[in-house]
Amino acid sequence: MALPLDGVRVVEMGYYTAGPVCGRYLRDLGADVVRIEPGDGDPTRKAGGKASAAWSFLFGQNNAGKQSISLDLKDPDGARRLGLLLGQADVFLCSFPPDVMARLHLSPEDCRERNEQLVYCGVSGFGLDAPVAQRALDVTIQAQAGMMNLTGHDGRPTKIGISICDDLAAQTATFGILTALLERDATGTGQLVDVAIYDAAVWATEYRWPSLLESLPFDEQLGNADPCSGVEDVVATADGRLAVSLPWSDPGPELSEVLGGVTSATPRQGLEHLRDWASTRTTAEAVITLGAAGVVCSPVNAISEVMTTPMAVDGELLDIPDGGMPDAINSPLIIDGARLRPAGPAPELDEHDPDLWVQWGAHDQ
Amino acid sequence: MSAHVPSTAATGTERAPASAPLAAFAGLRIVEVTSDRSAGALTGRMLAQLGAGCERIDAGSAAAGATVDEPPDEVASWRAALAMMYGAGKQLREPAALDDLDGLLSGADVLLVDDAGIRAMGGSKALDAALSRFPELICCPVTAVGGHDGAGGDTATELTVEAAAGVLGTTGHSLEETVRAGFPVGDIIAALNAVSGTLAALIRRQRTGEGTRVDTSVFDGLFFFLGTFMAKWLAAGIEPQPVGNRHPVIGPWNDYPTSDGSVVICVATDAAWGRLCELLGTGGEREDWPAWSNNERVARQDEIDVWISEWTRTRTSDDVLTQVDQLGVPCSRLQSLAEVLDSQQTRARGLIEEAANGASIARLPFRLRRL
């Protein structure tokens, strides 16, 4: 199957999550993605000890299917060789801070001189022209962008477990690069995509903005409730926990029958009745009974349970070889009925030197 | 009710002008059949912000036997505001337009649907039939949990998908008090996947002339980001637990009390750890602490947190942030949403824009200009 980005060439510089995960998205969509790493490699490769296998999986997840070239960019020859690659690239994806890129003579202006058709995507904490020049990581952005104050139970701001800001920045960079490729083709000019992790995080809180102007009581932590969706909470069962969502309208006679004929004056009262009922049932029993009654619910799954859900298994989200570790989680996209999978495992350091230079035609004139 | 987020008058927040339409999207026609606050609706809003023409059919009112939910007034106000925000830049069409599907899709570039939209159109086979009649069409279903009949929309909400996908079970300070994200993170992730899938399909169509079906779901999007937690289970058979405000495999990393609030400090490298140790001062029984590796720091984070808290508790947030930032160690204040929307950074980046329908909405999350 021809993939959407077949023939698109991406040069990627960056560690950890935001930049590399964007590169992973582009690679899964068919682009050739080459990572530029220092002589001793991306630091993510070097983690050892008890966490080495976990780190290895994370590195594999973020970099599956890419190619690797090792260059010392402080050495003139390393910089020259990177310039040759950029001359043949469609996209330069970098997630080092703007001041670092400038010191390496890899600012947008520097790169335009090498390739006027380039799509340059800079991913940084606060933007290429940021008024705030401070280092940032996922959780500092979660705090600064208001996410932690919106998440949690009463009075206890809470970080979202996954690295949501880095993940959103990766998605935003992918969105921006694809937009820029279309705009480049329409206008014939190179494009600059400026992605700030802070911007992506603030953007994601838009759903809660109306509470401020309307003076609605929804501007801090709401626990497990989202009143817009209905009357919701997590209730304890005899052997676990269950997320339940009831409509604001009458849940109907089916729920009443489940509850043994108990009727509820309000949806909130119905939820309390359901809480009592669930406490004496197993999670599996509650899911079946409530599901049959049309009540929206789900077990609060542990990670090992998530991997065995029908959505994960039937959806082919993870290919686990017998007795081994998977290389990576598969793409969240299905193209023409086929789940996108990474083209291969993450590369060894400098694995694609010298072949890549030939493939890309990246030679001195 | 007006559907504005804080205006200049209300909070001092400046609002940027609407996003400028891009040449690549001029003349692009999107047909959207969605409910009004879904991932699909947000996907359509983003495409409209790029400059595409978006015609929306409300799948909620188009569905046979649709129930009418009647929430309290403050919730109804919130829903109405969101409908305005997610509907910005779109032209609303009557559900009767679905009766002439060929007429509706003639000349369309993208068909965007969610679970309710799939049901309103008669199921997934109707989408494939549309693709066979319009081979250059890009069709993008954005569902809750995948599947082909749109039933997921009846059996899942953001809360239950976060629970099913492990996000709820890994967020919080203990297993008994796990909690959902404070905004519909699953819908947002799915919308970004859908918009990227759609744009990638447009790039392929330029080259091949062929349309594409691009499926994604809220569950799939969340699952893709579980790597940090999944790694522990896959590598060592350790069931990941919620880690509060810590990082599962990097440390020290937490929120710490100050004399006037709290701050977040994140040490991600050995060098940063060494600089923090120098600032706080190690000696006596802590003499060997600066040499601890990341794995040792993660294992002994309880002790480290007590030490850092003793230092931060006696200082103001400003003082702590100034000193820690000078070390090049990432740190931040915990800001409320009101503080965020009124902040220098938010104003400077122009993160709020006014849409043509009068709603104040989030500007697209990236900036684009000629290189």
Between chains, do A144 and B335 touch, taking CB under 8 Å as contact?
yes
For residues B294 and A108, the answer to whether their CB atoms sit within 8 Å is no
Q: Is the pLDDT of residue A77 over 60?
A: yes
Q: For residue A167, what pLDDT is reported?
A: 97
- pLDDT confidence of B7, banded at 50, 70, 90? very low
Q: How far is B40 from chain A (nearest CA, A)?
A: 14
Interface test with chain B among A50, A179, A245, A279, by most B beta carbons within 10 Å? A179
Partners of residue A107 in chain B, C-beta under 8 Å: none
Q: What is the mean pLDDT of residues A48-68?
A: 77
Q: Is the pLDDT of residue A26 over 80?
A: yes
Q: What is the mean pLDDT of chain A?
A: 91
Closest CA to A270 of A250, A284, A290: A250
Partners of residue A158 in chain B, C-beta under 8 Å: 171-173, 179, 244-245
Interface test with chain A among B37, B125, B180, by most A beta carbons within 10 Å? B180
Q: What is the mean pLDDT of residues B113-130?
A: 92
Between chains, do B344 and A185 touch, taking CB under 8 Å as contact?
no
The residue type of A158 is T
Which token pair is A132? 């705030």
CA–CA distance, B363 with B351 (Å, rounded to integer): 5
Q: For residue B14, what pLDDT is reported?
A: 38
Q: How far is A351 from chain B (nearest CA, A)?
A: 24
Three-state secondary-structure class, residue B272: helix
Between chains, do B266 and A234 touch, taking CB under 8 Å as contact?
no
Q: What is the mean pLDDT of residues B218-227?
A: 96
Partners of residue B188 in chain A, C-beta under 8 Å: 168, 204, 207
Q: Which of residues 63-82 of B touch A (CB under 8 A)?
A: 67-72, 74-75, 77-79, 81-82
* Pairing outcome for strands B261-266 and A296-299: unpaired
The residues near A269 (Cβ < 8 Å, ≥ 6 apart) are none
- Nearest C-alpha in B relative to A185: B24
Q: For residue A266, what pLDDT is reported?
A: 83
Question: Which residue matches tokens 């499926």?
Answer: B215
| Helix (H) and strand (E) counts in chain B | 18, 12
- pLDDT confidence of A2, banded at 50, 70, 90? confident
- pLDDT confidence of A41, banded at 50, 70, 90? confident
CA–CA distance, A89 with A69 (Å, rounded to integer): 14
Closest CA to B5 of B70, B84, B97, B117: B84
Which token pair is B51? 């400059």
CA–CA distance, A167 with A22 (Å, rounded to integer): 9
Q: For residue A49, what pLDDT is reported?
A: 41
Q: How far is A353 from chain B (nearest CA, A)?
A: 29
Closest CA to B162 of A234, A141, A320, A95: A234
Q: For residue B4, what pLDDT is reported?
A: 34
User: Nearest by CB to A179, which of B183, B199, B223?
Assistant: B199
Three-state secondary-structure class, residue A345: coil
Interface test with chain B among A6, A117, A195, A209, by most B beta carbons within 10 Å? A209
A-B contacts at Cβ under 8 angstroms: 511
Q: What is the mean pLDDT of residues A332-338?
A: 96
- pLDDT confidence of A339, banded at 50, 70, 90? very high
Between chains, do B371 and A119 touch, taking CB under 8 Å as contact?
yes
Partners of residue B368 in chain A, C-beta under 8 Å: 176, 179-180, 183, 191-194
CA–CA distance, A223 with A234 (Å, rounded to integer): 9
Q: For residue A251, what pLDDT is reported?
A: 67
DSSP code of residue A298: E
Interface test with chain A among B157, B167, B174, B219, by most A beta carbons within 10 Å? B157
pLDDT per position as a tens digit, B266-313: 998 899 999 999 999 988 889 999 999 998 999 999 999 999 999 999
Among positive and negative, which fits the CA dihedral A221, A222, A224, A227? Answer: negative
Q: What is the mean pLDDT of residues A242-250?
A: 88
User: Nearest by CB to B221, which of A145, A149, A332?
Assistant: A332
Between chains, do B336 and A247 touch, taking CB under 8 Å as contact?
no
Partners of residue A134 in chain B, C-beta under 8 Å: 325, 330-331
- pLDDT confidence of A53, banded at 50, 70, 90? low
Q: For residue A133, what pLDDT is reported?
A: 64
Q: For residue B184, what pLDDT is reported?
A: 97
Q: Is the pLDDT of residue B22 over 70?
A: yes
Q: Is B292 on the interface with A (CB under 8 A)?
A: no
Q: For residue A44, what pLDDT is reported?
A: 77
Interface test with chain B among A106, A111, A202, A313, by most B beta carbons within 10 Å? A202
Helix pair angle (A164-187, A18-28), 10° resolution: 50
Partners of residue A149 in chain B, C-beta under 8 Å: 182, 334-337
Instruction: Mean pLDDT check: name the lowest of A24-38, A280-294, B18-32.
Output: B18-32
Q: How is the beta sheet containing B212-217 ordered, strand by strand?
A: A338-339, A334-335, B212-217, B138-143, B110-113, B29-34, B53-58, B90-93
The residues near A98 (Cβ < 8 Å, ≥ 6 apart) are A107, A122, A124, A128, A130
Between chains, do B362 and A202 touch, taking CB under 8 Å as contact?
yes
Between chains, do B330 and A135 touch, taking CB under 8 Å as contact?
yes
Closest CA to A243 of B152, B23, B160, B78: B160
Between chains, do B236 and A230 touch, taking CB under 8 Å as contact?
no
Report CA dihedral (B332, B333, B337, B339) to the nearest 10 degrees.
-110
Q: What is the mean pLDDT of residues B167-181?
A: 94
Q: What is the mean pLDDT of chain B?
A: 89
CA–CA distance, B20 with B98 (Å, rounded to integer): 31
- pLDDT confidence of A155, banded at 50, 70, 90? confident
pLDDT per position as a tens digit, A125-151: 999 987 666 778 889 999 999 999 999
Q: Is the pLDDT of residue B3 over 60?
A: no
Q: What percent of chain A has pLDDT over 70?
A: 95
Between chains, do B234 and A336 touch, taking CB under 8 Å as contact?
no
Which token pair is A242? 């269950």
Partners of residue A295 in chain B, C-beta under 8 Å: none
Partners of residue B366 in chain A, C-beta under 8 Å: 172-173, 175-176, 179, 193-195, 199-200
Q: What percent of chain B has pLDDT over 70?
A: 91
